[in-house]
Amino acid sequence: MNGTVVRYEPRGGAVKLLTCRDAEVLICGPAGTGKSLAMLQKLHFTCLAVPGLRALLVRQTHASLTGTTLVTFERTVVGEAIAAGLVRWFGGSARQPPAYRYANGSEILVGGLDRPEKFLSSEFDRIAVDEATQISKTAHETLITRLRGGAPTYKQIVCAANPAQPTHWLKQRADTGTMRLINSRHRDNPAYIKADGSPTEIGAAYLAKLDALSGVRRLRLRDGQWAAAEGMVYDGWDDAVHLVDPAPIPKEWPRWWVVDFGFTNPFVLQCWAEDPDGRLIMYREIYRTQRLVEDHARDILRLVRACAQCCGSKREAHDCQACKACRLEWTEPRPQAVICDHDAEDRATLERHLGLATTPAKKGKSTGIQAAQGRLKVAGDGRPRLMLMRSALVERDQALDEAKKPCSTEEEVPSYVWAVKPGGEEKEEPVKRDDHGMDAMRYMVAQRDLVGDTRVSSPAVARQAPRVGTGVAGRYGRHISGGAGPRTA
């Protein structure tokens, strides 16, 4: 390693990972066990030891990679090597993706599967996937085909993840022996647990946060179990069926926006499209706390409008979105309705700043849940009538992430459960906790499928938009290789 000193104290699962040579590896365990750090350290060690090695560090979205994984990599793993001049950061170009470039010719390309164009044509010796439960099986298998690098070392893909539902494809892949499973536990993390087994000061505080979790989130993030919640409201939910990879949305497909207001609790915006067969696909989501409605409105408009004719200002801080002299155009169809929770003041504020009228949501909980459950069922064509796109989340709320709370509608589903009476009998309504995306999703389904507030109609009857012969509706019945494609047309 050219005399380089790397300071790292591996334990337990981390030691097993460092010495493992299996082609496919999953290091899995509760939150905070150091599994991602172990994966990143191995990647760094290998680049230092093997000249000319070509590696890929990837996550489902580019934003989540840069906002979390790369921060850990630079602060904890590669910082001293950068300071010593052994590694330098290359920010990318029109032809090449961003990468950490080593003095010995090795490099680690970085990217998100929502932007795979620049790296999926490359060949690699090592691939590291962080938060691997968020990627599709198809994307994983596509990455495996890129393990054809020429450096003199074994080829390997390492996935780091917290446990998910027992039927997740990662767990099934490990159970069949296709992928080696390495369990990681809190005692493996010296930052949280001392050698004698007692917690450090920061470890005690972190574990207290995990101890405060309940239900399936505690089972997965505190106890490290591949678990599904008992009494799930949407027990027909299956990630493999209801989560689809990003793809362009044809302009002919009608759009709807749904809003559930919040400040201390998350403000949720869901953008939905409806295909010619009446399927609803959520293609964009804002899920954020601690922001005012008017700030959310400005963020929303930045996602759907672009400057078609600039005023020509040369000021460095010029903001076309806020400039009255610039001509802004919508980059996607306007929503047919903006369906909102009933808060009159928030609705008025949103309308004023968006310049769009809003529609009060149909809030009947029981009938709305029944309608959503009906859409989740797989129809005769093998596809459900409601799906969420992976990578729909615009920006991850770091405060929610640190508190180990759901950060998107997708993450709410497993812990959305029926309330239980003191005698153990299920109530007829869900637990009122971490359900903001669930409420918004229910509003969307109710808008399309409920007649009045009581009768449920079929998606075909509820559909008002004309059939459009786009020839692309079938793409949502399968995963798209690599997760490529923009979120909007």
Judge whether residue 161 has pLDDT over 80: yes
SS3 5: coil
Range with the largest mean pLDDT of 75-79, 195-199, 362-366, 438-442:
438-442
Angle (CA) 378-381-383 rounded to 5° is 40
Residue span of the structural domain in which 23 resides: 12-211
SS3 151: coil
Residues 101, 35 within the same domain: yes
**Angle in degrees, 0-180, between the axes of helices 12-19 and 35-49, rounded to the nearest 10:** 30
Please give the span between the terminal C-alpha atoms of the chain, in angstroms, as a whole number.
48
pLDDT over 90, % of the chain: 70
Confidence of residue 67 (pLDDT cuts 50, 70, 90): confident
Q: Report how far residue 111's alpha carbon sits from residue 115's, in angstroms, rounded to the nearest whole number.
A: 7
Among 107, 388, 370, 60, CA closest to 234: 370
Angstrom distances, CA of residue 112 to CA of 63, 98, 399: 7, 11, 22
SS3 472: coil
- Report whether 364 contacts 428 (CB < 8 A): no
Residues 161, 118 within the same domain: yes
pLDDT at residue 480, rounded to an integer: 29
274 vs 67, higher pLDDT: 274
Q: Report how far residue 165's alpha carbon sits from residue 206's, in angstroms, rounded to the nearest whole number.
A: 24
Judge whether residue 36 has pLDDT over 80: yes
Confidence of residue 96 (pLDDT cuts 50, 70, 90): confident
SS3 267: strand
Judge whether residue 447 has pLDDT over 50: yes
Burial of 142 (0-12, 13-18, 19+ CB in 10 A): buried
pLDDT at residue 475, rounded to an integer: 45
- Look up the CATH number of the domain holding residue 250: 3.30.420.280
Confidence of residue 74 (pLDDT cuts 50, 70, 90): very high
234 assigned to some structural domain: no
Total domains present in the chain = 2
Residues 206, 247 within the same domain: no
- DSSP 8-state assignment for residue 279: -
Looking up tokens 């909980």 gives 365
- Reading the block at residue 297, the tokens are 């409105």
**DSSP states of 78-125 as a string?**
SHHHHHTTSEEEE---SSS--EEEETTS-EEEEEETTS-TTTTTS--S
- DSSP 8-state assignment for residue 449: H
286 assigned to some structural domain: yes
219 assigned to some structural domain: no
What is the helix (H) or strand (E) element at residue 203, kind and residue range? helix 201-211
Average pLDDT over residues 16-45: 97
450 assigned to some structural domain: yes
Residues 201, 324 within the same domain: no
Whole-model pTM over 0.75: no
Judge whether residue 473 has pLDDT over 50: no
Judge whether residue 239 has pLDDT over 90: no
Q: Report how far residue 247's alpha carbon sits from residue 239's, in angstroms, rounded to the nearest whole number.
A: 17
- Look up the CATH number of the domain holding residue 35: 3.40.50.300
Q: Report how far residue 215's alpha carbon sits from residue 195's, in angstroms, rounded to the nearest whole number.
A: 30
Residues 157, 270 within the same domain: no
Q: Kindly report the backbone phi and psi dihedral angles of residue 471, in degrees, each rounded to the nearest multiple of 5, phi listed first.
A: 75, 15
Confidence of residue 424 (pLDDT cuts 50, 70, 90): low
SS3 per-residue string spanning 298-316: HHHHHHHEEEEECCCCCCC
**Angle in degrees, 0-180, between the axes of helices 436-449 and 365-376, rounded to the nearest 10:** 80
The mean pLDDT of the chain is 88
271 assigned to some structural domain: yes
Q: Report how far residue 41's alpha carbon sits from residue 469's, in angstroms, rounded to the nearest whole number.
A: 51
Which range (8-22, 147-161, 224-238) has the least confidence?
A: 224-238
Judge whether residue 106 has pLDDT over 70: yes
pLDDT at residue 249, rounded to an integer: 96
Residues 457, 384 within the same domain: yes
225 assigned to some structural domain: no
**DSSP states of 350-419 as a string?**
HHHHHT---EE----HHHHHHHHHHHHS--TTS--SEEEETT-BSS--HHHHHTT---SHHHHGGG-BEE
Q: Report how far residue 225's alpha carbon sits from residue 218's, in angstroms, rounded to the nearest whole number.
A: 9
Average pLDDT over residues 231-246: 88
Q: Report how far residue 270's alpha carbon sits from residue 94's, in angstroms, rounded to the nearest whole number.
A: 32
